[in-house]
Amino acid sequence: MSRSHSAPSLVAPLIACLSLACAANAVRAEPIANVVADVHALAQKEQQPLLDTLHDLVSIESGSKDVEGLNQIAERVAGQLRQLGGTVEILQPSDIYRLDDTPEKIGPAVHAVFNGTGSKKIMLIAHMDTVYLKGMLKDQPFRIDGDKAYGLGIADDKQGVALILHSVALLQKLNFKDYGTLTVLTNGDEEISSPGWRSTITKFASDQDAVFSFEGGGTDGTLRLATSGIGSAYLTVTGKSSHAGARPEGGVNALYELSHQVLQMKDLSKPELGLKLNWTVSKAGTNRNVIPAEATAQADARALKVSDFDELEKALQDKIKNRLLPESRVALKFEVRRPPLEANDASRRIAAYGKTIYGEIGLPLKVDEKATGGGTDAAFAALKTRGAVVEGMGLSGFGAHSNDAEYVKLDSIVPRLYLTTRMIMDLSTGKLN
């Protein structure tokens, strides 16, 4: 993307700066029509700076297991937050919830706090990591093609990081500080189920009045108030090996026991409640003529309520007590990779108000209370807070995890900047309770 500019005159920028300064000082006293015009005009001016930031972020490879790249992007994000006046720290993980596929080292998180003059606490979250491998960037750099910007991780979730940075910048240009605290948290492990930062997200979010999560808004900008939870179950059966032809009776067939266990657990799903358990991976044996001494299986679990996972794990543990082969040993491990995000009344009120804000600039806004798609860090934010948690605040786009097709829509930048800024302003000043 070219960043060359023609030499400007001295008069036009001076007039523009004076106009913006006047608008910033008067914005809170202005009628709503003027506020809409002022914020929208500033959002339009912020589009190109946001694209410049997005270019920089996409140009840093930051796969979930690329700690070097994650450190680099964390420094880039932290630097911009410091320039905006935040109290900023780059955190290293200390409380890691180790999952089956958690790497030895987890990337950092960037934490920033902006102190205001009001009382409301508002938190903005996004993630810096991607699913892509180091070295892929050279073949697929950031590019703009028509009404879309393409790049690895651009939709999931580097647009979210850029949108947060420039929403904060827009508030600064409006000289708006009526919030109590504005907290920013960007983590580097979302794509691997946030083992290093889940507890931090929950802790920081626990006393917030509102948490806005900047995953993409899909192709139509829908806000989401609920997402499915994701769990995994792991069965391990230990038997005893023996010659399958000469002395099968001397063994304990782990495959038989595994089959028994999987079959007796096949009916634990409750589709009408959104609870699903499906066994998807299994392994047993080493040779055709050896009774298998070990067998394993893995299941995918989905739930719409946090309590459903607790009940499912209890049911699984009860089931393994019933064994086909008493001499076998059966162990079960259950992981909550992500809890479900459940809609609450506070989230519904804020999302409904978002429709009003979008209407001010002549746009419709969809809100979905039905859990769809994969998990989200917003669910960790919602675990201990009574405040609102709204997901999908990011740009419209498509192709997450698709290395040749991931993009964001350029025409969603100004509306999303406007929405985020107005949400923060009106929540802070009590217009939205």
- Give the active site residues: 129, 190
Q: Residues 267, 272, 273, 279: is their CA dihedral positive or negative?
A: positive
What is the 3-state composition of the chain as percent helix, strand, coil, each rounded to the nearest 5? 40, 25, 40
68: exposed, middle or buried (C-beta count within 10 Å: 0-12, 13-18, 19+)? Answer: exposed
Ramachandran assignment for 294, one of left (phi > 0), alpha (psi -120 to 50 degrees), beta (any other): beta
Euclidean distance between CA atoms 278 and 340, whole angstroms? 17
Euclidean distance between CA atoms 180 and 116, whole angstroms? 5
Euclidean distance between CA atoms 127 and 110, whole angstroms? 10
Going by C-alpha positions, the residue among 183, 223, 151 that lies closest to residue 416 is: 223
Euclidean distance between CA atoms 205 and 186, whole angstroms? 13
Euclidean distance between CA atoms 375 and 226, whole angstroms? 9
Residue 95 and residue 187 in contact, taking contact as beta carbons nearer than 8 Å:
no
Ramachandran assignment for 149, one of left (phi > 0), alpha (psi -120 to 50 degrees), beta (any other): beta
Going by C-alpha positions, the residue among 390, 70, 424 that lies closest to residue 224 is: 390
Instruction: Classify strands 210-213 and 121-127 as parallel, antiparallel or unpaired.
Output: parallel
Euclidean distance between CA atoms 22 and 42, whole angstroms? 13
